[in-house]
Amino acid sequence: MHDESLKDYQRVRRLAIKSLFEIIEQSSEGTVIVDRDARIVWMNERYARRFGLADASAAIGQPCEQVIPGSLMREVVNQGRPILLDMLDTPKEPLVVMRLPIQDASGEVIGAIGFALFDELRSLSPLLKRYASMQQELASTRSLLKARQAKYSFAQFIGTSAASLEVKRRARRAASSDSPVLLLGETGTGKELLAHAIHAASPRAHKAFVSINSAAIPETLLEAEFFGTAPGAFTGAERKGRAGKLQLAEGGTLFLDEIGDMPLPLQSKLLRVLQEKEYEPVGSNQMLQSDVRVIAATSRDLQAAMARGEFRADLYYRLNVLPIEVPALRERIEDLPALTEAILEDLGSRHELEDEALALLGRHAWPGNIRELRNVLERATLLADRARLEVEDIRGALGTLMPRAVEETTPVPGYREACEAFERQLLRDALQRCAGNVPEAARQLGLGRSTLYKKLVALGIQSQ
Ligand SMILES: Nc1ncnc2c1ncn2[C@@H]1O[C@H](COP(=O)(O)OP(=O)(O)O)[C@@H](O)[C@H]1O
Ligand SMILES: [Mg+2]
């Protein structure tokens, strides 16, 4: 009778112990027993195969760690305490493991037994899921940090002219210091590239590199972007609060691009961050500590901006600790051959540049500097029929790009108009080269045929 037997407590206990062992042993992915020196006494075949042994007998007498990397059986024997639930990473998948000391009649530890379970034990699957999701979170945090790391190093700053070498020398020196750096130079001269490279060569290289561009963000949003917002300061999506760039850059480098376009009120707040190393998120009254290295860049004449009262003198002096003047391309035209070669390679192009074509490039004024050079070369490779870039290809590429020199004097066209103008020119040229053959032009442009037709209609271009 069941009732009878359940009253025999000693017997129940023995049965329970027996079933416990059997259930666990049977459903385990592996079982191992070690002696008091943590040498393997017994191991089941399944477990031995998992660790690459042909036969379990090969494991007998070996220190457990030799067979099971990362095993903690020795700890269990030494301390006499079980490790009831743990994860053991193995080449195939993580296992849930349980390790128990084995005691003799007098209570002395004489060895240990370990069970490796895995997801056949359904009851453990929430735990495994959690483990897997934590692993995933870790991986995505790591990749986020990677995304915030520097994109360029000094090796990518091409140029052996005296002016280029001087820039690189100063930038390298700046990398070993923690003071603010001020990069001055026309648009497209490589200021952003240098900012990345300085960070990458600095002791903060393993921390984040975060950029904020004062010219690209509307003034009303800039402060929140910079300092973040406190929870509850806004309604809707922002209600939870959001980390600012300053916080994202904590411990790393903050790149302030186009600082000459920073509005005056924000200039004052930035100055305070630089001096006091603390700030308040928008809508909060809590001070946060800040440890960032600042690299600022601008294509504006900051002295003139100061004279007009548009840039704070105290901020200028605070930033102007390590100024680096990045020369315009026209001042270092001897770098042109090396630059074109590096850019063509970077574009994945196999084109070779004819000498005369190079000479033509050398005569251009390059108001857009290396960015413009890159655009011209990219365009020329798209226009060229042959594997060589000839004078005509370069002339075509130079001619069709909007001259950037006029940018400063004439009003800047709206973004949409500029894009449209560019698109219109590009499509017209493509059509012309294909003698009005739309399918062929679509193929060369890498567009679908109907997409190109729609664009032609939208832009009012006649295909013939
Ligand atoms: N010395 C250089 N060598 C190679 N590429 C360069 C160099 N300077 C700039 N570039 C390239 O030119 C483009 C514009 O550079 P960027 O750093 O954005 O200029 P800026 O910030 O001064 O406007 C980028 O594609 C960059 O990689
Ligand atoms: Mg720039």
Q: Which atom of ligand 1 is nearest to the CA of 342?
A: 4
pLDDT bucket at 78, cuts 50 / 70 / 90: very high
Q: Whose CA is nearest to atom 18 of ligand 1?
A: 192
The domain defined by 154-233+242-325 carries CATH number 3.40.50.300? yes
Ligand 2 ion: nearby residues, β-carbon < 5 Å: 192
Fold annotation for 331-404 = Helicase, Ruva Protein; domain 3 (1.10.8)
List all residues whose CB is within 6 A of at least one atom of ligand 1.
156-159, 185, 187-193, 297, 339, 342, 370-371, 374
Q: What's the whole-number average pLDDT of the chain?
A: 87
In CATH terms, 413-464 corresponds, of 3.40.50.720, 3.20.20.370, 1.10.287.3510, 1.10.10.60, to 1.10.10.60
CATH class of 2-119: alpha beta
Whole-model pTM: value is 0.62
Distance from the alpha carbon of residue 400 to the mean position of ligand 1, in angstroms: 21
Q: Name the closest ligand to CA 165.
A: 1
Q: Is the pLDDT of residue 137 over 70?
A: yes
What confidence score (pLDDT) does residue 96 get?
A: 84
Q: Whose CA is nearest to atom 15 of ligand 1?
A: 190
Residues carrying CATH 1.10.8.60, the chain: 331-404
pLDDT bucket at 406, cuts 50 / 70 / 90: very low
What confidence score (pLDDT) does residue 407 get?
A: 42
What confidence score (pLDDT) does residue 292 get?
A: 97
Q: What is the mean pLDDT of residues 384-405?
A: 77
Q: What is the mean pLDDT of residues 338-353?
A: 93
Residues carrying CATH 3.40.50.300, the chain: 154-233+242-325
Q: What is the mean pLDDT of residues 119-126?
A: 57
Q: Is the pLDDT of residue 2 over 70?
A: no
Q: Is the pLDDT of residue 276 over 90?
A: yes
Which of the listed ranges 40-54, 181-195, 436-450 does the model predict with the highest average pLDDT?
A: 181-195
Residues carrying CATH 3.30.450.20, the chain: 2-119
What confidence score (pLDDT) does residue 1 get?
A: 47
pLDDT tens by residue, 219-263: 888 999 999 988 876 666 566 788 899 999 999 999 999 999 999
Task: Report the share of the chain in percent with pLDDT over 90.
Answer: 55
Residues carrying CATH 1.10.10.60, the chain: 413-464
Cα dihedral across residues 113, 118, 122, 125: positive or negative: positive
